[in-house]
Amino acid sequence: MTNDRTPRGKGSEVHGIFEKIAGYYDRMNFVMTLGRHDAWCREVAARVAPPAGGQLVDLATGTGVIALAAARKYPAATVTGVDFSEEMLRRARTKSGADAVRWRQADAACLPFENESIDGITQGYLLRNVEDLDGVLREQYRVLKPGGRVVILETCPPSGLAKPVVKWGVRTVVPLLGQVVARDRSSYSYLESSTLAFESPRHIAEILSGLGFKGIGWRKKFFGTNVILWATKPR
């Protein structure tokens, strides 16, 4: 199945990887974070805080962990889980509570929402996989209502005194886990390289600030290898 939002170029390659890993995506996230991934997703949902009756969009929803956490926390809000992977969305729809979420296939670079129509945006591991980081964040600014918040869960390149050890661990452990847990070393070699090559939280914060976001902050997780960032579109 294809449509006019099917990714091309690098996006097509990334799309293929996520179609391939959908069946063991949750298991790998659990193993790679020593079981902390779900708690981070709940924190992302807690930080977005849409108003009662508001519209919340979870981008790169994958198997829907953040979207489902948001639907449980904000039953009066309308939660839409968006992903470009049909297989990820198929997995999300089978989960307990999935009927409380609207699932929609779309590309984060071209969101199918009107200007200033969304009260809150969440996302997990989207930005490191896009070709135009500034453009994707600009698109989120476009659809957010004034006062709306974006909350981002991302990987974080290692820094500080522990950088050599953490870098070695990411390069060694992630592909190895991909081989042992998922029998798929190549896909997780890509995810390892995209983690190490991704921008720092400070750089993402600078982009958000340049777009007009205010109240920007972040908190690192898991030896500095993951980060939750947040920002608000001013009223």
Sequence ranges of the binding site for S-adenosyl-L-methionine: 63, 83, 107-108
Contact call for residues 7 and 129 (beta carbons, < 8 A): no
Contact call for residues 68 and 89 (beta carbons, < 8 A): no
Q: Three-state SS for 24? A: helix
Contact call for residues 223 and 165 (beta carbons, < 8 A): no
Could you give phi then psi for residue 174, rounded to 5 degrees?
Answer: -60, -50
Give me the residues paired with residue 220 across strands. 227
How buried is 181 (Cβ within 10 angstroms: 0-12 exposed, 13-18 middle, 19+ buried)? middle
Which residue spans within 66-155 are E strands per DSSP?
78-83, 101-105, 118-124, 144-155
Contact call for residues 88 and 26 (beta carbons, < 8 A): no
Give the Cα separation of 35 and 38 in Å (integer).
7
Task: Report residue 148 CA to chain centroid gap.
Answer: 17
Residue for token pair 């929402």:
113
Sequence ranges of the binding site: 63, 83, 107-108
Contacting residues for 2 by C-beta, under 8 A, at least 6 apart: none
